[in-house]
Structure 1
Amino acid sequence: MSVPGRLYLLVLLPPTVAALLLWATWNSLPDHLPTHWNLAGDADTWQPKSPVTVLAQLFTVPVVLLLGLAVASSILWMRSGNVFEPGGAGTTTEALNIWHGAKETAPVVGRYFVLLSLAATVTAAGGYLILPGGHGAGGLTAVAGILGIVASTVYLLLAVDRIDRAVTGRFPLPDGRRRKWLLFLEAPGSASVMLSSGDGWNWTFNVATRAGRMLALLTLVVLTGVSAVLVVSAVVGV
């Protein structure tokens, strides 16, 4: 079950719009464009103004995100197909749960990558904005990019949790288990911190236990934080 093709194009829409806007105001841009900003918003590295400089600044992260979306889509496709293979889902109901969950999750994951692309573009394009007092907006847009990534991740988790509830209501998993926050399981009847994911792939945390919740939240915080730092660093080098 793969991500809709139109969402791949939408990942490239924010940097494309930003590039067109910068091209429309090309003559007003300085002869040397900033390519690195500190958190105070001051540029400390410049390159001669050229389309290559702008395009590299705007499109590097979105192109990486595009590749990441392709990988995520492939994982969902393999996950939905794996349930019907030996060692996959234990029951027909469990297989249907996983298959429909992957089907409904795919477009949500696609929209998540579009939002990440928007956050990265705001971070990159904002560096060309000059604030009152002559300071660049690079520091502010870096913070905005981090907040955008966090907000996008919250959207992803809430949307996937809603899908999991709906799908599990139609196709209940054994022992009352249900998927939680995309990566984890909630099994109120089990005291185990780790549970089999049920599709033959791996093990995951049981968020019905206190230790499982703490480890799951720590995992999400680390993943979100690392992603935010990598995206912003790739754009502005902060």
Structure 2
Amino acid sequence: MTMRVRLLSLAAAALVGGVASAQTSAPAPPKPAATPRPARPPAAARETVSATLNGKKVAIDYGRPGLNGRKVDDLIAQLPPDRVWRAGANEVTTLTTEGDVLIGGKRVPAGKYSVYVYAPAGGDWSLILNTDPGVPLKTIFPAAPPERADHLWPILDGYAKIATKEVVRVPMKPVTPREAMDRFLISMEPARDGVSAITLTWGDRAWTVDVKDAAGVAR
């Protein structure tokens, strides 16, 4: 047998042996199933509610954070010393009114306002309206997605920075909610004779304040 034939025979034998080995070897054991990640709480929904007072619309736009098993009192306990809360989630909560209104008996000129809540450790909540529009998300979070970079967010590092722009701070009356709400809810009653009510509900607690058309009411 020539050297060339011998080498070809050895190569063929090696190839056949390799194929046979590959066909008869045990398959690789399956990879263990990936451990599922804990479910994230759903993102806060965005909602707008409104009422029309004698032909003039009052609207509130806000985010709806969820309790997700937590207690309202536990969350409120985490507020800074000024006890001011953003009244929602994510983008700034706003109230827009086409005409002058009375909220809790205090006049609010037509316009657009940012909304906050004063939530003391003890006692009732108060609704706050402020002319500060908020700050672009990109100033808080430089890596914000381009489509949200210019969305306005509330002041998160101290309400004192905008306290001089406060328009009204009115006490709200505690009421029994119609049903417990895991997601924070702002509602407005259908207007009657130019009168509605703004109600904030979270968990098994709720607070309300009247809102009225101010037309014809002396300043």
From the two aligned structures, give the one with the greater helix fraction: 1
Q: TM-score, normalised by structure 2?
A: 0.23
From the two aligned structures, give the one with the greater strand fraction: 2
Q: TM-score, normalised by structure 1?
A: 0.22
Rg larger in structure: 2
